[in-house]
Structure 1
Amino acid sequence: MTKKESHTIWIKREAQRLGFDACGVSKAVFLEEEAPRLEQWLQSGFQGEMHYMENHFDKRLDPALLVPGAKSVISLLYNYFPSDIQNQDSFHISKYAYGEDYHHVIKKKLHELVGSMQEVLGSFHARVFTDSAPVMERAWAQKSGLGWRGKHSLLISKQRGSFFFLAEIILDVELNYDLPFATDHCGSCTRCVDACPTKAILPNNTVDGSKCISYFTIELKDEIPAHFKDHFEDWVFGCDICQDVCPWNRFSTPHKEPKFDPDNRLLNFKKNEWEEITEEIFKDIFKKSAVKRTKFAGFERNISFLKK
């Protein structure tokens, strides 16, 4: 066994020990196939008011611009599927935001993994990412053999469904590379396309981000367009509809991360309690949650939009 092979095997075992559900490795190359897709997506205006998506075009495609001399991209999956979900007579919050903000939880584990790698592999340069930098996470995960991109654009794993976070380590060390995941197992299924109430999922495996409920309830700072009234199906932070209807998520299993466990009030509050929530209670329930991104005023706006 070569050093590259033994190091790669060790990294995958260490990632598993730290709680990651899957780990794949791909060669750090320019994402040539992604360039025209990204350009077309931006030219179509599908980013809406998310103007940050227009920045760092080259960095999104070339890992060497993020880590000079980059040779490998390690992609990882971290499950967030909950064992319990919200009361049905409630305003809905996306499952990924039930517990503590995943950016902090997962980045801590990534830094721990890199620290262990430094001890075994020797000194190297690396950066860690989880949905917080110009990194095309789904493209790298697919290139690393972890799954394929569904019609809803999310990565799907045959073994795990899609309720997981993606994370990456870009480093200047050559490793043993996995084969890309080449097969689309969605076939003729259009459940996510059909179920999307705002018609954000287009027939050509593209998502118009400017029509997505997650965009309206999290990213959009202005008033939500009135013509989307009655299309939100009670979602006030994010949306899981396309994942909830996906047949592959029958394989989802509850996570084992205590930090992702929700406050009981989040699970049990009914609509009238959310409507009467004070800023103090909001800050208490979501003190470590990604829901804080909307701030109390944004959360109130989203509830008011559904009540009108």
Structure 2
Amino acid sequence: MNTNAQKHTKFIKSEAKRLGFLSCGISKAGFLEEEAPRLEQWLKDGMHGEMKYMENHFDKRLDPTLLVEGSKSVISLLLNYYPSETQHDDSYKISKYAYGTDYHFVIKDKLKELLHSIQTEIGEVHGRAFVDSAPVLDKAWAAKSGLGWMGKHTNLLSKQVGSFYFIAELIVDLELEYDTPVTDHCGSCTACIDACPTQAIVEPYVVDGSKCISYFTIELKDEIPNDFSGMFDDWMFGCDVCQDVCPWNRFSKSHKEPLFDPNPKLLSMSRSEWKEITEEVFREIFRKSAVKRTKFSGLQRNINFLK
């Protein structure tokens, strides 16, 4: 391994830490051989439901060198979003990742700063930042670069910090030192499979996206099928059940990112108040939140679907 790659890798990882990322792992950019047949089968089985965008750019999804010209390395980063306080029991629930400011904005800014630091320190480096907004298989790259393993619920899991974090990438045309994957530590545990309210985890490591509460409450634009009536366990936006029951999340620590702190109203509102929510209150609570994606009408639809 050349000393430059070593030096550059050390610098990138220390910058990532300075910017508040939980961890940083690096893999050689190339074709994801193991993922290709899995993704193909998942799409063939229609497990993406109406998320038709998952069918686009199949080749680019599996090979970042087709996405970013001349790319040599995929820098994977984790950013904690575990809150210090959660909603109380008499409330309809939203996924913890959506409590504060939309993560796309928060992480994009950090990634831009990281790339800028790399260019200032190392010289002419070309790269692109990705936050769950382009055909990049975030979890596969994070696992490949040793940041965790893919749990039976298909979320990335780490022994140190569980799974309540965002995954982002910087794909660059720079040779770096590469990390190696870690082993799977799910063992015989089936907590996530047993707890899933809609039985969306159809077998270990396979989630039928078209049965997932997150899919119904965020992605689905039509009416929610009546077959799932009474199964939503009070989730009005997203769902954290498979993560909440995972033993590894006992080790989650609350984040230190003020932008992820929720509007106090989000934590105090009761079921009856959510039922009566006005568009004005919706705009106030979710002003910069990822919940805006479902729009006021979408959140109302979700709330009305709950028993």
User: What TM-score do you get using the length of structure 1 for normalisation?
Assistant: 0.98
What is the rounded CA distance, in whole Å, between the counterparts of 2:180 and 2:282 in structure 1? Answer: 45
The residue type equivalent to 2:126 in the other structure is: H
Partner of 1:285: 285
Which residue in 2 is equivalent to 1:62?
A: 63
Does the 8 Å contact 2:153/2:204 carry over to 1? no
Question: 1:32 Cα shift?
Answer: 1.1
* Secondary structure in 1 matching 2:75: strand
The percentage of aligned residue pairs carrying the same residue is 68
The answer as to whether partners of 2:149 and 2:181 remain within 8 angstroms in 1 is: no
What is the aligned-residue RMSD (CA, Å)?
0.7
The whole-number CA distance in structure 1 between the counterparts of 2:20 and 2:72 is 25
Q: Distance in 2 between matches of 1:241 and 1:42?
A: 24
Please identify runs of 4+ aligned residues in structure 1 that moved more than 2 A: none
Q: Indicate conservation of the 8 Å contact 2:118/2:125, yes or no.
A: no
Number of the residue aligned with 2:86 = 85
State the match for 2:218 in structure 1: 218
State the 1:204 CA deviation: 3.4
- Looking at structure 1, the residues matched to 171 and 208 of structure 2 have their Cα atoms a distance apart, in angstroms, of 29
The equivalent residue for 1:6 is 7
Structure 2 gaps of 5+ residues are: none
Correspondence for 2:104: 103
**Rounded Cα–Cα distance in structure 2 between residues aligned with 1:200 and 1:132:** 23
Does structure 1 residue 137 correspond to structure 2 residue 138? yes
1:244 maps to 244
Secondary structure of 1:188 counterpart: coil
Q: Which amino acid aligns with 1:265?
A: K
Structure 2: how far apart are the matches of 1:97 and 1:240? 11
How far apart, CA to CA, are the structure 1 residues paired with 2:19 and 2:201? Answer: 34
Q: Secondary structure of the residue that 2:129 maps to in structure 1?
A: strand
SS in 2 for 1:243: helix
Matches within 5 A, 1:111-190: 111-181=112-182, 183-190=183-190
Equivalent residue number for residue 274 of structure 1: 274
**Distance of 2:175 and 2:66 partners within structure 1:** 17
CA distance in 1, matches of 2:233, 2:217: 12
1:5 to partner: Cα distance: 0.3
C-alpha distance after superposition, 1:217-274 (max 9, x if no partner): 0000000000100100000000000000000000000000000000111001000000
Which residue type is aligned with residue 29 of structure 2?
A
Residue 168 of structure 1 aligns to a residue whose secondary structure is: strand
Residues in 2 aligned to 1:144 and 1:198: alpha-carbon distance in whole angstroms: 32
1:262 maps to which residue?
262
Distance 1:231 1:146 in 2: 33
Q: Which amino acid letter does the alignment assign opposite residue 268 of structure 2?
A: N
Identify the range of structure 1 (1-10 vs 165-174) with the bigger mean alpha-carbon deviation: 1-10
Q: What's the secondary structure of 1:60's corresponding residue?
A: helix
Q: How many residues align?
A: 306
Hey, what's the Cα distance between the residues in 2 that align with 1:168 and 1:160? Answer: 19
Measured after TM superposition, the shift of residue 84 of structure 1 is: 0.1
| Alignment partners' CA distance in 2, 1:140 and 1:297 | 35
CA distance in structure 2 between the aligned counterparts of 1:89 and 1:10, rounded to whole angstroms: 47
Distance 2:295 2:82 in 1: 24
Which segments of 5 or more consecutive residues in structure 1 lack a partner in the other structure? none
Three-state SS of the structure 2 residue aligned to 1:23 is strand
- Alpha-carbon distance in 1 for matches of 2:97, 2:126: 30
Shift of 1:216: 0.2
Cα contact 2:20–2:79 (8 A) shared by 1: yes
